[in-house]
């Protein structure tokens, strides 16, 4: 790997004209979904032209769970191969020891950022990563189909279930064999944790682990939410949803084969792409609630740029992080990828509103998004998340009821917690 | 692997060992000398990591803080937590239901897939052993699945088995075997079957090749004699061919079983990470890297090593496999 990277960077370096003063060769790593890769490359090209440094992208699988394992290996080996890591919003407390404190390097711009995003990357007094873009999911719906069958955008999960079923059956009767009602992320990985904590919180079932570290997940409201979700599988959602990640769900929805989809913001830009069969035929709304008078819940997502402690080009790496997060690049990223920016001002940019109305519309949702309990559970977050998604996945695939699985989950979480997280 | 027995038949007949001559002592010494580089390399790349893994399984190490590992004894394997009121419970890998489930999954996978591969491999080898026009091309074509990297074929099959766009469901529906698409990799009932299908597809050529090599060592005059005596073909196969190629088949089975017990990539790529398909290697990796449980994962790796060693040794012992290449 190392030699391979060295060779690649050397190759890239050789193409730069000699004569530029101390040109560094940087490596940035990210897991690309949708159009992330393409936009990152074009922005890196600008950076290269401006500074004379070269930057190579190292690509990762789409699953955050897979990425984390690889990053942890590199970091544990104190590898200097990678200078800049794109980090998931939940990781900061687990890997902060391997990253430099960015706070002194961004003091002049830190106040321009969405404060919640900055706080999510603070461990004690240290800024582990500079927020790049945020995420808060949406309920994607086929506006043309809702109109055709005279249905409203559903406000509750129960209503969503009924509408999805009605439209799905009507469409199938018309010969649309492949039509489904709802697709989401049901594979046993971090994405299911995001989906399931939204169902539970919107039913008033609380959180996986409360902010103060207490565990109250084993309650009737949570069970009700998961039982409803389990009823979707094989009914309004395909059986295969138990192995769907973001891109699988988008594949079904974007090929026109589902009425509803729960997905992150990136799917909006792609669904409206020129090659998309559903271009202009879908809308987004906030996720449904667990019933009348309840509040919806949206998991806070997002990816942030951290500079490795083991990088040999820290100065240049910080420069790169600042560059990728400047106003112009954030604006371009918001327009091209429909990922919510982290600079408050970009939300108010008229051009962004004109090109990608989704962004200003989603500002309140992002602001009110529900974080995962990564701060409360510290280094044990991954195991907590894995226990949680296992309990949900078991219920959905018919292994035990929600009540049984939640009781077991609670006991397991208590044991993980021990005296203290 | 020599199956003929012209070599090393000495010593088996004489009750007392003849005193080694100076020449043979010399030869033994130079043999060790030639082996030394390999042994040193092996110690460096295999034994040392193995020792480290076993050592870490007795500590409370965490991946990014390996230097701070402290010795905790057998706690990762088995620990009794006393409540102080006469009650208590056991913790640790040896009582971890999830771990034993993954052991069972792995063994189940290995037994079923290796059995199927052996049967199919034998059939293909017998076909390829016949001379027919274009045989060379068929031999080359058969090898294709084996030549594709596992990770690539796993991904490829995952797409082919996809419940919405998969070609496999499409084909089965056209033939009328199923009326609704099956979510091969997603549902717990079919996920393991899907993994076994892919593994059999991929590894049968390897088995066929090893068995074919065994077949080609069988002296041809036996068959000519059998033809003269008018032995029916199936009986010939059972009484002559099978016993003669058995050593080659057994070696192939051991090779495959070793591989199958370490299975990781195909399961990791194709199926969701659940109890129904998790193998020992997946379990170990999950604890080593995903969770902050490096020591526990090391303990799992250590047990995995011993389980595989035990199974291999007992298999060799039970089949009285002849590793020396001399007469039994």
Q: Is B155 on the interface with A (CB under 8 A)?
A: no
- Residues B126-184 have pLDDT tens digits of 999 888 888 888 888 888 999 999 999 999 999 999 888 889 988 998 898 888 888 88
* CATH number of B281's domain: 1.10.3720.10
Give the distance from residue B162's alpha carbon to the nearest chain A alpha carbon, in angstroms. 7
Among A residues 12-71, those touching chain B with beta carbons less than 8 Å apart: 65, 68-69
Q: Domain A2-135+302-367 belongs to what architecture?
A: 3-Layer(aba) Sandwich (3.40)
Domain boundaries, chain A: 2-135+302-367, 138-299+373-418
> Which helix or strand (DSSP H or E) is residue A164 part of?
helix A157-173
pLDDT tier at B202 (50, 70, 90 boundaries)?
very high
**In the prediction, which pLDDT does B138 show?**
87
Q: Is B68 exposed, middle or buried (0-12, 13-18, 19+ CB in 10 A)?
A: exposed
B62 contact residues in A (CB cutoff 8 A): 379
Domain count, chain B: 1
Nearest residue in chain A measured CA to CA from B170: A178
Q: Does B27 reside within a domain?
A: no
- Of A13, A118, A399, A379, which Cα lies nearest the Cα of B64? A379
Q: Distance, in angstroms, between A400 CA and closest chain B CA?
A: 13
Q: Does residue B124 belong to any structural domain of this protein?
A: yes
Of A69, A243, A398, the CB nearest to B290: A69
Specify whether domain A138-299+373-418 bears CATH 3.40.30.10. Answer: no
Residue B239 lies in a domain: yes
Using an 8 Å CB-CB cutoff, list chain A residues near B271. Answer: 243
Query: Could you tell me which residues come within 8 angstroms of residue B123 by beta carbon, excluding any fewer than 6 positions away?
Result: none
Mean pLDDT of all residues in A366-392: 90
Q: Can you tell me the distance from the alpha carbon of B54 to that of B271, in angstroms, rounded to the nearest whole number?
A: 29
- Chain B residues within 8 A of A308 when measuring between CB atoms: none
Residues of chain A contacting residue B157, judged by C-beta atoms under 8 Å apart: none
Query: What is chain A's mean pLDDT, rounded?
Result: 90
pLDDT in tens, B82-120: 766 667 778 889 999 899 999 999 999 999 999 999 999
Sheet holding A54-60, edge to edge: A54-60, A25-31, A84-88, A301-307, A130-135
| Confidence tier at A167 by pLDDT (50, 70, 90) | very high
For residue A176, the SS3 value is coil
**Shortest CA distance to B188 belongs to which of B96, B283, B271?**
B271
At A154 the three-state DSSP class reads: coil
In angstroms, the separation between the Cα of residue A52 and the nearest Cα of chain B is 34
Q: Which domain holds residue B252?
A: 96-291
pLDDT in tens, A183-195: 999 999 999 999 9
B180, B266 Cβ separation under 8 angstroms = no
Shortest CB distance from A188 goes to which of B183, B272, B289?
Answer: B272
Handedness of CA B52, B57, B59, B62 (dihedral sign): positive
User: If contacts are CB pairs under 8 Å, which of residues 174-213 in chain B contact chain A?
Assistant: 181-183, 185-188
Which among A72, A73, A188 has the least Cβ separation from residue B274? Answer: A188
CB contact under 8 A, B186 and A241: yes
Residue B19 — very low, low, confident or very high, per pLDDT cuts 50/70/90?
low
Q: What is the pLDDT, as a whole number, of residue A20?
A: 44
> Does the beta-carbon distance from A379 to B292 stay under 8 Å?
yes
What lies within 8 Å, CB to CB, of B220 at 6+ separation is none
Report the C-alpha gap between B54 and A109 in whole angstroms: 49
**Looking at the complex, does the CB of residue A386 fall below 8 Å from at least one CB of chain B?**
yes
């Amino acid at each position: 790997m190392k030699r391979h990277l060295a060779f690649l960077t050397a190759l890239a370096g050789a193409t730069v004209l000699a004569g530029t003063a101390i040109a560094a060769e940087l490596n940035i790593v990210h897991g690309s979904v949708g159009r992330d890769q393409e936009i990152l490359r074009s922005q890196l090209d600008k950076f290269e032209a401006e500074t004379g440094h070269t930057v190579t992208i190292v690509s990762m699988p789409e699953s955050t769970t897979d990425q984390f394992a690889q990053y942890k290996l590199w970091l544990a080996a104190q590898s200097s191969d990678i200078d800049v890591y794109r980090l998931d919003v939940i990781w900061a407390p687990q890997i902060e020891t391997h990253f430099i404190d960015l706070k002194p390097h961004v003091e002049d711009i830190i106040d321009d950022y969405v404060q919640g995003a900055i706080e999510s990357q603070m461990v004690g007094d240290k800024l582990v990563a500079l927020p790049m873009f945020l995420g808060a999911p949406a309920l994607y719906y086929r506006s043309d189909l809702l109109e055709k069958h005279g249905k409203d955008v559903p406000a509750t999960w129960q209503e969503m279930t009924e509408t999805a079923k009605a439209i799905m059956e009507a469409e199938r009767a018309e010969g649309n064999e492949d039509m489904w009602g709802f697709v989401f992320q049901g594979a046993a990985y971090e994405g299911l944790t995001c989906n399931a904590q939204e169902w539970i919180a919107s039913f008033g079932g609380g959180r996986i682990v409360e902010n103060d570290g207490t565990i109250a997940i084993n309650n009737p409201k949570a069970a009700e939410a998961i039982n409803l979700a389990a009823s979707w599988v094989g009914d309004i959602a395909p059986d295969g949803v138990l192995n769907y990640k973001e891109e699988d769900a988008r594949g079904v929805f974007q090929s026109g084969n589902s009425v509803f989809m729960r997905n992150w913001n990136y799917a909006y830009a792609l669904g409206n792409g020129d090659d998309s069969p559903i271009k202009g035929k879908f809308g987004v709304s906030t996720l449904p609630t667990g019933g009348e008078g309840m509040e919806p819940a949206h998991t806070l997502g997002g990816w942030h740029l951290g500079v490795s402690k083991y990088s040999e080009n820290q100065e240049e790496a910080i420069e790169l992080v600042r560059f990728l997060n400047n106003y112009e690049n954030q604006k371009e990223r918001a327009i091209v990828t429909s990922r919510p920016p982290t600079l408050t001002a970009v939300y108010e940019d008229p051009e962004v509103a004109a090109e990608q109305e989704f962004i200003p519309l989603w500002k309140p949702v992002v602001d009110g998004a529900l974080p995962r309990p990564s701060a409360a559970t510290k280094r044990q977050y991954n195991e907590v998340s894995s226990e949680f998604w296992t309990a949900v996945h078991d219920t959905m695939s018919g292994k035990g009821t929600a009540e049984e699985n939640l009781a077991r989950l609670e006991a397991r979480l208590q044991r993980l917690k021990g005296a203290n997280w | 692997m020599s199956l003929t027995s012209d070599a090393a038949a000495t010593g088996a007949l004489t009750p007392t060992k003849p005193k080694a001559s100076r020449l043979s002592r010399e030869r033994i010494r130079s043999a060790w000398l030639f082996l030394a580089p390999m042994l040193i390399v092996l110690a460096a790349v295999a034994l040392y990591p193995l020792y480290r893994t076993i050592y870490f399984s007795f500590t409370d190490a965490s991946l990014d803080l390996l230097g701070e590992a402290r010795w905790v004894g057998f706690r990762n394997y088995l620990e009794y937590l006393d409540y102080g009121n006469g009650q208590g419970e056991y913790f640790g890998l040896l009582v971890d239901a999830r771990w034993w489930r993954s052991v069972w999954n792995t063994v189940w996978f290995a037994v079923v897939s290796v059995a199927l591969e052996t049967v199919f491999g034998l059939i293909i080898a017998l076909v390829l052993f016949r001379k027919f026009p274009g045989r060379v091309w068929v031999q080359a074509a058969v090898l294709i699945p084996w030549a594709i990297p596992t990770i690539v074929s796993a991904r490829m099959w995952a797409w082919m088995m996809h419940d919405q766009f998969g070609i496999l469901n499409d084909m089965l529906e056209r033939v009328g075997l199923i009326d609704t698409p099956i979510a091969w990799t997603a549902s717990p009932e079919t996920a393991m079957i899907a993994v076994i299908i892919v593994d059999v597809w991929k590894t049968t050529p390897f088995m066929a090749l090893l068995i074919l090599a065994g077949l080609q060592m069988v002296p041809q005059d036996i068959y000519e004699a059998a033809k003269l005596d008018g032995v029916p073909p199936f009986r010939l196969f059972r009484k002559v061919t099978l016993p003669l190629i058995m050593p080659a088949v057994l070696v192939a089975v051991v090779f495959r079983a070793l591989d199958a017990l370490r299975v990781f990539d195909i399961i990791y790529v194709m199926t969701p990470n659940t109890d129904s398909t998790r193998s020992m290697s997946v379990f170990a990796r999950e604890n080593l890297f995903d969770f902050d449980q490096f020591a526990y994962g090391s303990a799992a790796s250590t047990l995995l090593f011993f389980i595989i060693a035990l199974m291999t040794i007992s298999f060799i012992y039970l089949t009285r496999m002849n590793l020396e290449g001399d007469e039994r």
